[in-house]
Amino acid sequence: MKSKNYSENIIKVFKKDGFVLSEPDVLLDSDYIIQRSGENFRKLMFTFEDDAGKSICLRPDLTVASCIKYLKDNPKKNSKIFYSGQAYRRSDNRKDKVINDQLGIEILGSKNKFIDDLKILKTIDNSIKKIKIKNTSIKVGDVSLFQNLIESLKIPQRWKMRLKRHFWRPQYFKDLLNRLETSSDVDPAEINLDKKRFSEMKKLNQSKEIANRKVSEILSRFDRKIKDPRLFSENKKIAKIIREFLKINCSASKLEKNLINFLEKNKLRNNVFKDLSTIKKLSKINSKTIFSTNFGRDIEYYTGIVFEIYNSSKKEIARGGRYDGLIKSLGSKKNIPAVGAAINLNNLKI
């Protein structure tokens, strides 16, 4: 099948399943993206300046571009959209493609997580079946399970936040776990010096700002920090539990059993992992579905289920997931949960 026919057939499935065409902008305001996604996103972007000195980039990602368009158009409505277009990404690795042809769907303002996650998965699966690609396999992860686990552990809130934030950066995460085991980040000598300044600063106007932070904000964080109640022996145990969790890798149908074993072995509450129904259903869509707790750690914006679909020669042909925080971080005042996926046309071509 030619790639044009691929697209036509996939789009037919998208439309049949109720997704409406949306055409996100090709050129985006780079400063807007950097301000909201952080400087490390810049490495992926092709950036240039227009005559007025404004920095513009080619859309690095169609999900981000679609969210920006959604926010511009009408953020009140839920929308089920599909797009067909190219994303442009810079990479240090010469083997990576710069131009990626993508066909994707998104449910922006997704109110029912279970129904919508499954809807996205089913539509992508139907599209792949429609273009007669057989013997596919799925790899799936769920960032929220990791978050459930962290919440159930007895470590200071600061450390919980920290571990959650850096889940998607495996190398740094490893360092963090080592640090959790070995060191305290509170230096007693230093603290004594600063305590003096602490009492001086208490007398200041608490809403006075020092480089954009209120005095009250600084003092309350200082206070929280010196009361950090970490115990080294406990931390070793906790780091071990987290490492063990991240090794779980099994067929999706066996996930529930494995998680229960894991909880029992580590003497954790049996209701830590809240809901596995989507993953269980996924194993019915495709029997070759592998679940891995360590999967989906390369894109920061995912917050729930993450998946990739491969063809018989193990090339990735589609990927997607839930991203409940992205639209807010792009400037929306409200939380707007969302889920989506895209088919990578480049890897369909034979």
Partner 1 sequence: MKNLLTIGLPSKGRLKEESISFFEKNDLKPTSNGGERNYFAQIENLPNSKIIYLHAKEIVQRLGDGTIDVGISGLDLLKESPINLQKKIEVKKKLDFGLADVVVAIPNDWIDVQTVADLEEVSFDFRDKKNIRLRVATKYPNLTNNFLVSKGITQYEIVPSLGATETYPFIGSSEIITDITSTGKTLKDNNLRVLKDGFILNSQACLMFSKKKAKNLQTFLNSLTYV
Give me the residues that bind partner 1 (CB under 8 A), please. 34-36, 38-40, 42, 158, 161-162, 165-166, 169, 172, 175-176, 179, 185, 187, 190, 194, 197-198, 201, 210-213, 215, 217-219, 221-222, 225, 300, 328-329, 331
Alpha-carbon span 330 to 68, nearest angstrom? 7
| Residue among 52 and 211 whose Cβ is closer to partner 1 | 211
| Residue among 51 and 190 whose Cβ is closer to partner 1 | 190
Q: Which residues contact 143 (CB under 8 A, 6 or more apart)?
A: 167, 168, 296, 302, 303, 304, 306
| Residue among 83 and 302 whose Cβ is closer to partner 1 | 302
Report in angstroms how near the CB of residue 191 gets to partner 1 at its nearest: 9
Q: Which residues contact 118 (CB under 8 A, 6 or more apart)?
A: 278, 281, 282
Report in angstroms how near the CB of residue 188 gets to partner 1 at its nearest: 12
Report in angstroms how near the CB of residue 262 gets to partner 1 at its nearest: 27
| Residue among 238 and 259 whose Cβ is closer to partner 1 | 238
| Residue among 197 and 265 whose Cβ is closer to partner 1 | 197
Alpha-carbon span 296 to 320, nearest angstrom? 9
Handedness of CA 279, 282, 287, 291 (dihedral sign): negative
Exposure string (b/e) for 116-130, b if CB count within 10 Å is 16 or more?
Answer: bbbbbbebbbebbee
Report in angstroms how near the CB of residue 171 gets to partner 1 at its nearest: 9
Give the pair of three-digit tokens for residue 177.
């776990």
Give the pair of three-digit tokens for residue 340.
């989506």
Distances (CA, A) of 346 to 67, 86, 126, 190: 23, 10, 19, 56
Report in angstroms how near the CB of residue 297 gets to partner 1 at its nearest: 14
| Residue among 5 and 157 whose Cβ is closer to partner 1 | 157
Report in angstroms how near the CB of residue 34 gets to partner 1 at its nearest: 6
| Residue among 249 and 329 whose Cβ is closer to partner 1 | 329
Q: In this structure, which amino acid lies at residue 38? A: G
Report in angstroms how near the CB of residue 347 gets to partner 1 at its nearest: 28
Q: Which residues contact 281 (CB under 8 A, 6 or more apart)?
A: 118
Exposure string (b/e) for 188-216, b if CB count within 10 Å is 16 or more?
Answer: eeeeeeeeeeeeebeeeeeeeeeeeeebe
Given its phi and psi angles, is residue 135 left (phi above 0), alpha (psi -120 to 50 degrees) or beta? left
| Residue among 129 and 165 whose Cβ is closer to partner 1 | 165
Whether 111 and 337 have beta carbons less than 8 Å apart is answered as yes
Report in angstroms how near the CB of residue 24 gets to partner 1 at its nearest: 22
| Residue among 34 and 250 whose Cβ is closer to partner 1 | 34
Alpha-carbon span 262 to 152, nearest angstrom? 14
Report in angstroms how near the CB of residue 340 gets to partner 1 at its nearest: 22
